[in-house]
Amino acid sequence: MTDPVSRTILLLDIEKFSERDDVEQAYLRRMLYDITDRALETADIDETRRLRADRGDSVMELIDANTSLTALLRALLTHVPAQLRTVNRMASSSAQIRLRAVLATGYVAIDEHEGWVGSDLNRACRLLDGETLRAALRERTDDFALCVSPSVYTGIVRHNHPGIPAEDFRAIKVTSKNGPLEAWLHGPVPTTEGNEPGQVRDHTENQGQAHSPTDTSGARPGAAPAPQAPSGTGPVFHFNNGATVHFGGGLVAGDQHGVSGGQVTGDVIMGSTTDHGEHG
């Protein structure tokens, strides 16, 4: 395995991809490639400075960390929405393309099977698959929802560069199997977050105080917080040996162990309005 190298991580996923037929899916994939390539070209990032993984309804880009993250973020906020409006203006309802995106930074290694390995990459994938970002796109009239990692917010967004207004980003916490993940959502926080019990923090707060304007966790006031799953290294991605990884569903790797002798306390809610089997 190579030594981990600092990368910019860009993930893009098509909403409701699995609901389309084969012809529609092929068209949407062409549009996804075209939109991604144009955004990277706008940011002056050529093909020699990036690696791509095709996941069907999603693409993953590992980009040279020496390229301009500011230019890429500006392209995502301005060029991508403009492209989506142009594409969807004349498209039928079945050919409409709407995208979720995550922009992050971190260290990624490449193993002997050309698989991409890295905890920062795993976290970015979980942000993409999180209910908060899905709900944000569902509630918007436009066709794009973006969140960025804390490192991107700290290094770029908070400095209020031209075309990247810091006041448009909101701090959120996204529930994952390894515990809550912090991120910054561009645009309004969704009013309904499905079964996403994480707190939403106001972007102007500096003292770490949190509030929960929409609490869907089912927890009783004053109840002890539910224990979080222990952190792990997360899944390893192998893209060229036949393995399957879906951004639209759960990421599963390693042995799965049952739980015996456990104890369940607090409220238990059976059923959910969120279909986790749906991809895209």
Tens of pLDDT along 231-264? 444 444 444 444 444 444 444 344 444 433 444 4
Per-residue pLDDT, 29:
92
Per-residue pLDDT, 67:
95
Q: At 78, which helix (H) or strand (E)?
A: helix 69-89
Best CA proximity match to 143, nearest among 102, 99, 187: 99
Cα–Cα dist 275/166, whole Å: 33
**Angle between helices 22-42 and 69-89 in degrees, nearest 10:** 140
How many Cα neighbours within 13 Å face the side chain of 103?
A: 28
Per-residue pLDDT, 58:
83
The answer to whether the beta carbons of residues 18 and 56 sit under 8 Å apart is no
User: Quick check: helix, strand or coil at residue 216?
Assistant: coil
What pTM does this model have? Answer: 0.68
Contacts of 85 (CB under 8 A, 6+ apart): 142, 143
Looking at residue 211, what DSSP letter applies?
B
Class of domain 5-126+145-168: alpha beta
Helix, strand, coil content of the chain in percent (nearest 5): 30, 20, 50
Best CA proximity match to 234, nearest among 143, 85, 119, 130: 119
How many Cα neighbours within 13 Å face the side chain of 56?
A: 15
Best CA proximity match to 14, nearest among 67, 72, 87: 87
Per-residue pLDDT, 192:
64
Q: Which residues of the chain fall short of a pLDDT of 50?
A: 194-227, 229-280
Contacts of 79 (CB under 8 A, 6+ apart): 38, 39, 42
Per-residue pLDDT, 191:
85
Cα–Cα dist 218/96, whole Å: 35
Other beta carbons less than 10 A from residue 221's beta carbon? 5
Per-residue pLDDT, 148:
98
Question: What are the residue ranges spanned by the domains of the chain?
Answer: 5-126+145-168
Per-residue pLDDT, 20:
78
Best CA proximity match to 77, nearest among 146, 129, 6: 146
Per-residue pLDDT, 255:
44
